[in-house]
Amino acid sequence: MTLHNDPLAALGVSRETIQRLEALVALMGKWNPAINLVSKSTLADAWSRHILDSAQIYRLAPPGPLHWADLGSGGGFPGLVVAVLGAELQPGSRFTLVDSDQRKATFLRQSCQTLGLKAQVLAERIDAIAPLNADVLSARALAPLTLLCGFAQRHLSARGTALFMKGASHASELAEARGQWAFEVDIHPSVTEAGAVILQLKGLPHG
């Protein structure tokens, strides 16, 4: 259940974009039994647990055309959702979805084709691909923050923004990461899950 405002209403997206997101839910339901994209228990509430949860980070991205890279895209969250939103709201933007699982990468590619998205899918390890120089780097339930900061150092542009979705343990992860990395952080409460946050990081070491 949404705790605050509907992110999609706040973004003012069109009915066409809503329909694309509904089609994504249908694709997820079709593929999930075979490759376990998300926990089966979340499928009944997929709109809130996955679509709205992912959509809320879009408002934190800088304005204008940009390169958005999503790490560990897996079932498409938040990567496919922000790519759908970007197709309407920032059509000059490009999106890169990274997941080393070949089956999940196939799902991501098929979804991009079905939804009409011009997103690149890389089925490789995050630490093995060439630096992406992304303006925005996102990840959802992927790895501890210390490891995510290392990914950001490699793949985020010098003035880029990292948007990492974290659960109730974010405070301890922040404390540990600050012992190893220098960065600025804004903490945004999740609108879909009590205790969860989006960590908006800037000023991370580059290169």
Which residues define the annotated binding site for S-adenosyl-L-methionine?
A: 72, 77, 140
Rounded to whole angstroms, what are the CA distances from 85 to 54, 82, 124, 126, 199?
A: 10, 5, 25, 24, 20
Which residues contribute to the annotated binding site? 72, 77, 140
d(CA 149, CA 118): 27
**43 torsion bin: left (phi>0), alpha (psi -120 to 50), beta (else):** alpha
Question: What stretches of 48-144 show up as alpha helix (H) in DSSP?
Answer: 53-55, 79-89, 102-115
Q: Which helix (H) or strand (E) holds 148?
A: helix 145-155
- Please give the backbone phi and psi of residue 31, each rounded to the nearest 5 degrees, phi first: -85, -25
